[in-house]
Structure 1
């Protein structure tokens, strides 16, 4: 409590409370540890013992859970505080937290244990009621403390964050660790199809998620820029290539060439023979064979960067199969040979993985050219040498489960100590994805069409439309949000059917609905200029919110956001964050009619409600950004 703060520190606390933006904090050198400690001390809650792995300064619900655990461990020796803490879970159906007594494996019946905890119970700043239900104890938090502390923390970590950036929901669990993540990885000269779209969306989420948890993240886009298809394209380009079309849209033109030459190959066997010769020359480093390929690759990457920018995705490194040096592949093969793991089959080299039910894995074709698996192994060795990562994630479709299992097993057999640091994050298929006319699927066609549909919908409300600065940008963002939310709404391993009408609807749990919820929250400050700027948090009286179930529901959801982020890190599931965002949007939607700001005569009540909505906007926006969605302010 404040009485514990020495007079000098109290002055600094008062100063911190008065600062509503981060500009002053950014201008002066700040002792981050000291500020974080003071920020924690600003809380008016009684002090508690610390539990390893918790951080009330970034997740205030940790303090409430610790208070519950302390109550349980004090009543049930020899149970320790840490043991009791692991038993405090989120409750169901209107219950804040629940403790399942049998989980502690203590002597005595659950009823007797419950009685010990309930004896002499007095409500305090943390807990208002405890209910005994068979094997469970249900804890309701002190509503006034909950609302005040949650809003205080969101405000502090959004506007007065030690880092100078909004940091509510982030944590430092990965500090000092390095992640290399490979995702998207389209094939040059083939359409950026829906499988790559899923990898891009899920990968961008994981990229953001690990950064939010303190990891250093290196994102790689490992392009399919090598292989026999380039022999085919080189053969086809001599016949069908056009410099003008190439400059207009390299990816589309090379794809068209590939389709045409592949059709030729169906009737003319010489096409494939010629293509194999071209690729062999490329592998042997023949400059005349590589010249065109280099131009195609560069132009394709340029086009991809534009498409990723539209999706709010960026990569640290564009690499590709072509960049895995032959020496790394040779080193991998030598090591496998030395360990006696390679066998010969008609000139091809393979590794027998039948013992692990992974079949036989081919590493080099009979003509000496490399294949995908060899390049993957060489690439992993090269990345380890370069980055010395703590973890490397491959975001690849579940159709490739066997390939990734073979790849990981071989690194393990090669006895690389870092082999167990590799992880495959897989996902299911997108079914039925095409443009509305049912034509071919290039990503930019899908994005353009989604934008066009949203634009038409927006034009129906002329008054709102005229207030939007850049309607085309807004339409594009809402369309992209629809695509992303449809993709991430269910568990990633599930297949899903691409549905235009559902994806772009404002009804139900859709991307447009989520953007609308954020826009409506953002409009609250514009609609109530007489209340802006709000006074510092210490001068906002939140006691009126304590009698509102809607305010309470919103507050506990807001307080749970840091836990949502931690859970997502364990599961690698974006769906948990999407579910949180919709639950929050629904809770806010339910509150509009009772927690009115405009027209509320009591200014104290109006300010408290507006502050609640501003904090809700900040957290909803943070969850959307974590999902790589740009939250809109008008639409």
Structure 2
């Protein structure tokens, strides 16, 4: 049975609405990609009839609350800034006038000047679950990326995302992980919202240090070692020659202080050899450039192996070397001609305190663009690169994913480009910053490079997997699975908080089998894959499922969570915070996991089995899509030898499997079952009669006769909680 278009299904409940009418009335709505926008539009129209407020004024203030217990939408009446009666009076009046027979919403719940709205389950299941949730691209919104939504032929907006940017010939240091993870996420979010994305890796691939590296290779390099492990070999050479150069400089200094002639020593020093080598590179000497190019190519080849483990790719490998000395000299003249720079003892600087009045000038301060010896600094090079990209790509937006330590530098860069008369190019630029990772090391406590950390995490997860021999035997490539689990742990820890926050690298926490970790998220996805395998239903079976059979509270709550996904993805484009999506992923996993012993698949009546499996498959698709946007590789099988914690107990039947084969153990080591923990119970404070399918929590019942579902962490609210008697 083919799926009906979303509007056809929606029209069964609400007359007089069409996609065109919704788009025209509410320009920010994308009903094709986000069915909840149809609900917002309907609610705006109903409230407009009640209140006399224009629908277009109501639509923007219809918000999505944090938890399912607080409704599907809410309105803060004060946000409308209406004259007349107080907001709490208006809220009460509007609630009283809300039509009791509304097709989509139950009567709103009043809380002071706030109104909370719960969608009715039957239209939600048919309209949202049928039309959108099972769509394997659910959440993707190609309309957001159109230059002109009214005329798609105008094409898509282009965004450039620059991220990662390691230094050539040096190992991928642990400190680069934040730029790589956040940058890849940023690019993925824009892509999922319909933008044309160009991923650029701007390498640190130029400077005197490459002259020093070349000298080191000429002295002690090994062709065999270079081919075997180029990055490791070059880095060892670089470390050694820096040590040698330091000792040499100290010896020269001592001789000079003793009154000896050191001119010959200085002329033949390692430092001077490096300067001369780099001078030859800037003069385009073929031999030196060929060697530099080889080191660069070998470095990129090695980096790509690390990137592939992180699910990261680039469209372009650029770098400092791509900006010529001639273009920087020309830019220096332009800066001077525009009156932006001034000389100071032979150096060239920009004094923003003189160029810009007030606070802005003081914040930007004074910065060098060229040293006394004529060497151009990063700012000049970056101006050339920015303007070159704008001319080449005509970007609509460009994002630099760089640490917060570069806040001032990038602010100065954007302002200088503006002062040069390129306001359009400057205003389209954005700095996505992030904090530091403290104490990044292996379990042995030694500071290591990123590949070493990944290997350590993978080894740890592999040992855990081996503890369950039966399940371990089912994994086709256990080493690769362990690698993915370890990397998932690293990435999820990095994305768990706001990106601007510093955090302490904690390998024990990130590889933990408890709480909201990467291994747990992988388990949640693998668990859904397991259910689908055992149900043995085809996509055609699921496509024809009758989702109106999903009347249970748990089923409705799962649909409510999945229906939020397009909103979450759109919000992630606004915040550019990985935690926006990650938090939603964990909440969804908890709500889904709580349903397993209530919504049995195998063993259920055939049509009910198809409907429930369709719902679980929809959850699997949403988790998979979200994980890929975060940069995680979803696993279909994962195992662990852990036993249950003392405060969790097996149930006799989970998702339709008997007690003897209740769980396919995931890497979390914990089947997701009911957990009796009073600290995790959250009273709803709302009678079940208010919303027919809403769980009821006996007031004052306490921990003994209430139960919370899911493995919600102490730091976040439980999605729903209720008395053991569900309606």
Say yes or no: TM over 0.5. yes
Q: How do residues 65-144 of structure 1 correspond to structure 2 at under 5 angstroms?
A: 65-77=40-52, 79-93=53-67, 94=69, 95-106=71-82, 107-114=84-91, 115-119=93-97, 121-144=99-122
Q: For 2:364, what is the secondary structure of its paired residue?
A: coil
Shift of 1:173: 0.8
Deviations 1:3-30 (A, max 9, x none): xxxxxxxxxxx7555xxxxxxxxxxxxx
Match of residue 57 from structure 1: 32
CA contact (8 A) 1:228 1:275 kept: yes
Q: 2:131 aligns with which of 153, 158, 167?
A: 153
Contact 1:195 1:397 in 2 (8 A): no
Question: For residue 481 of structure 2, what is the aligned residue in structure 1?
Answer: 474
The answer (yes or no) to whether the contact 2:347–2:368 under 8 Å persists in 1 is yes
Closer, same or farther: CA 331–116 of 1 in aligned 2, 3 Å: same
The 1:345/1:533 distance shift into structure 2, 3 A limit, reads closer
Q: Tell me the distance in 2 between the aligned counterparts of 1:494 and 1:136.
A: 32
**Aligned match of 1:41:** 8
Q: Is residue 298 of structure 2 the alignment partner of residue 299 of structure 1? A: yes
Q: Does residue 402 of structure 2 align to residue 396 of structure 1?
A: yes
Query: Is the counterpart of residue 446 in structure 1 residue 453 in structure 2?
Result: yes
Q: Is this contact kept in 1: 2:164–2:177, CA < 8 A?
A: yes
The structure number with the bigger radius of gyration is: 2
Matched length: 590
Distance 2:628 2:322 in 1: 32
What is the CA-CA distance between 1:111 and the residue it aligns to? 4.7
**Kept after mapping to 2: 8 A contact 1:169/1:561:** no
Cα distance, 1:15–1:142 mapped onto 2, change above 3 Å: closer
Structure 2 partner of 1:437:
444
Deviation of the 1:242 alpha carbon: 1.7
Unaligned runs of 5+ in 1: 1-13, 18-37, 159-165
Contact 1:52 1:82 in 2 (8 A): no
SS in 1 for 2:102: coil
Aligned to 1:408: 414
Distance 1:584 1:183 in 2: 29
Please name the residue that 1:210 is paired with.
Answer: 190
Is the contact made by 2:139 and 2:569 (CA closer than 8 Å) also made in structure 1? no
Q: How far is 1:280 from its partner?
A: 2.4
Residue 613 of structure 2 is matched in structure 1 by 610
Distance 1:92 1:215, change over 3 A: closer
Distance 1:192 1:306 in 2: 11
Aligned residue among 224, 228, 234 for 2:208: 228
Tell me how far apart the structure 2 counterparts of residues 92 and 385 of structure 1 sit (CA, whole Å). Answer: 43
For residues 559-574 of structure 1, the aligned pairs below 5 Å read 559-574=563-578
Judged with a 3 Å threshold, the aligned counterparts in structure 2 of structure 1 residues 116 and 365 are, in CA distance, closer, same or farther, namely closer
With structure 2 as the length reference, what TM-score do the two structures score?
Answer: 0.78
Residues 135-190 of structure 1 deviation map (CA, whole Å, 9 limit, x = unaligned) = 122211111211222211335632xxxxxxx3534342112211111100000123
Q: 1:271 to 1:353 in 2, by over 3 A?
A: farther
Which structure 2 residues correspond to residues 381-530 of structure 1 after superposition, within 5 A?
Answer: 381-417=387-423, 418-529=425-536
Deviation at 1:564, TM superposition (A): 0.6
Q: CA deviation at 1:322?
A: 0.4
Q: 1:111 to 1:430 in 2, by over 3 A?
A: closer
The separation in 2 between residues aligned to 1:609 and 1:534, in whole angstroms, is 14
Where does the alignment leave 5 or more consecutive residues of structure 2 unmatched?
Answer: 147-155, 250-268, 354-360, 639-727
- Say if 2:144 is the partner of 1:173: yes
Supply the distance in 2 between the matched residues of 1:489 and 1:111 (Cα, whole angstroms): 37
- Determine whether 1:375 maps to 2:381: yes
- Give the alignment partner of residue 171 of structure 2, picking from 191, 212, 236: 191
Shift in alpha-carbon separation, 1:525–1:357, aligned structure 2, 3 A: closer
Structure-2 separation of matches of 1:292 and 1:536: 58
Distance across 2 between alignment mates of 1:224 and 1:183: 12
- TM-score normalised to structure 1 length: 0.89
Give 1:244's aligned residue: 224
**Offset, 1:615:** 0.5
Instruction: Using the TM superposition, name which of 229-238 and 452-461 deviates more.
Output: 229-238
Could you tell me how far apart the structure 1 residues matched to 2:341 and 2:167 are?
A: 29
State the SS of the aligned residue for 1:151: helix
CA contact (8 A) 2:168 2:203 kept: yes
The answer for the alignment partner of 1:260 in structure 2 is: 240
Structure 2 residue 593 is the aligned partner of structure 1 residue 589: yes
Q: Is the contact between residue 75 and residue 117 of structure 1 (CA under 8 Å) also seen in structure 2? A: no
